[in-house]
Structure 1
Amino acid sequence: MASSSTFFFHPSEALVDGSSNSSYQTYVLNLNHEAPSEETPSSPKAPRDPHHLPTFDTQSIIQPTEPILYLPPLLSSLPPQHASVATPRTAYPPLATVTRLPDIDPVSLSLHKALHSFKPYDANYASKPYAEAFNWSELVLEEDEERDWYCVVFRSKRRPGSENAPLYEADRLAHEEAVQNGGLILYWYGIPNPETGMNLATCIWQSRKHAIAANSRPHHIAAMKLAAASFSTYELERYRLRKVRGESHVAIEPYIGGDVGW
């Protein structure tokens, strides 16, 4: 079965080892990040330095005290016709891509809105089963909606001394390519566990066909070639995210074959 993960590199790792990558820094700065709606500062604040690595602990990873560029999920921006659709206002909203999806179906649009509240349960999420790592039970959709989505999980540990700049440039290009190609709803890139070095990245796709199609794109192929030499550990897992009519919540199930989504 073909690999269905488009992204192999984790943006926070560019900062963990103290390296600098101008291409990736530009990419981060070009992401849209809205301030909390209730925040009305009395005096202008200096722009947050995107090169500064925030301090994370068990509490701050799930309830940060300030917007953190390296923590939130990265949602693919909606197609132009959905630009005015209201989305949930959270204290620390997710990042959004500049590149927009070409299309999205109505139930995936509902999931996209729900994912504005997506977060890990605690700092040890990278070592937990996927169904227990994130707040799936808190994502609420309309009861009359029904659909499933394809999830790819990538657990990894960077190899000491691996070069950063080509990796992050390949990741940036592969990510933009995937959004343009369609189907990618969310890319969570997380941060490595400070003790084990393990990380968990995940993608949520409108369908498995979208994920497989991304595998054949040139930037994804280039990224895969660089990944093999850059990680001492990397494991792929695949899941089905399911919403059943008559229920308001979603559930994670292991992927055991067949098509997912459309």
Structure 2
Amino acid sequence: MSLTFTHPPHPSERLQRSSPLTLAIHGTEETAKDPHAFPTFDDQSFMIPQSPVLYLPPLLSSLPERLQLPPLTSSDSPPLVTETRLPDIDPASLSLHKALHHFRPIVSNYAATPYKEAFNWSNLRLPKDEEREWYCVVFRSKRTPGSDGGSLYDADKKAHDEAIRNGGLILYWYGIPNQETGMNLATCIWQSRRHAIAANSRPHHIQAMKLAAQSYEIYHLERYILRKVAGEGGVTIQPYQSGEVGW
């Protein structure tokens, strides 16, 4: 199960520049980015990434499709709406959404680091009375040198928007390929495993997966449970074994 919108360039294709990852790890990026802004999908954003991307789907979107607005009268102006719909979200997931605004890697070589050691999980704090589990998917990848990702960029953009419309996506983060190995890491956090599986079955995601098979030399998936227990303020990461996660 995966979302596929991350395309690490081969090290030989990267421009020489100071490492933005060091700035990102220490929370001192040169330019503050809106984590709710839809990521840019083009050859520049993926072939020559300037910094890791943290994307938290905005919760202030159009109403869910199941909630119909009253019919407009002739004197009414049509309301301005976003392209994506507001998903259902529970209080604990909303607390996690807020905490994840501070989500960041704590090591530079996160693509080769165990998931629970690569990010600042210990700094994420939620209300102690809340209890919840969320479903995480990790993508470790290396792009095939010289592969043409043009059609994949477009497919990824559509798959990303499709996933947001599907609902349940709390976070999407992708990093910068390691300059020596070319390996990269991306991750998604979902309200539930069912949300992730539903997004996987959408047509744009299926098309993106087919194209990804032609563009990657290495592509590994890992699955985890992000757990918050009542009485504790922090969260833990555990490997996913089986069964449903979240709701």
Q: TM-score range by the shorter chain?
A: 0.7 to 0.9
Counterpart Cα distance in 2 of 1:259 and 1:175: 23
| AA in 2 matched with 1:140 | R
Say whether residues 1:207 and 2:192 are aligned partners: yes
Partner of 1:78: 59
Give the Å deviation of 1:164: 1.7
Give the Å deviation of 1:218: 0.7
| AA in 2 matched with 1:247 | E
Q: Is the 8 A contact 1:101 1:182 kept in 2?
A: yes
Partner of 1:7: 4
Deviations 1:63-84 (A, max 9, x none): 33412664231111114489xx
Counterpart Cα distance in 1 of 2:11 and 2:153: 11
Q: What is the TM-score when the length of structure 1 is the normalising length?
A: 0.74
Say whether residues 1:242 and 2:227 are aligned partners: yes
SS in 2 for 1:151: strand
Deviations 1:104-127 (A, max 9, x none): 111100000000000000211111
| AA in 2 matched with 1:9 | T
Equivalent position to 2:87, from 92, 96, 102? 102
Q: Is the 8 A contact 1:74 1:188 kept in 2?
A: yes
Partner of 1:46: none
Say whether residues 1:185 and 2:170 are aligned partners: yes
Counterpart Cα distance in 1 of 2:11 and 2:195: 31
1:1-262 aligned within 5 A? 4-10=1-7, 13=9, 17=13, 55-56=18-19, 59-63=22-26, 64-67=28-31, 70-80=51-61, 99-262=84-247
Q: Which has the larger radius of gyration?
A: 2
Q: Is the 8 A contact 2:132 2:227 kept in 1?
A: yes
Counterpart Cα distance in 2 of 1:253 and 1:65: 30
Report percent identity of matched pairs: 62
Q: What is the TM-score when the length of structure 2 is the normalising length?
A: 0.78
Counterpart Cα distance in 2 of 1:192 and 1:241: 25
Counterpart Cα distance in 1 of 2:178 and 2:83: 28
Counterpart Cα distance in 1 of 2:85 and 2:31: 23
Q: Is the 8 A contact 2:110 2:118 kept in 1?
A: yes
Counterpart Cα distance in 2 of 1:101 and 1:205: 15
SS in 2 for 1:201: strand
SS in 1 for 2:92: helix
Counterpart Cα distance in 1 of 2:233 and 2:198: 30
Give the Å deviation of 1:194: 1.1
What is the number of equivalent residue pairs in this alignment? Answer: 211
Counterpart Cα distance in 1 of 2:16 and 2:52: 11
The 1:54–1:148 alpha-carbon spacing in structure 2 relative to 1, beyond 3 Å, is: farther
Give the Å deviation of 1:173: 0.8
Counterpart Cα distance in 1 of 2:149 and 2:163: 21
Q: Is the 8 A contact 1:241 1:252 kept in 2?
A: yes
Give the Å deviation of 1:167: 1.4
Give the Å deviation of 1:103: 2.2
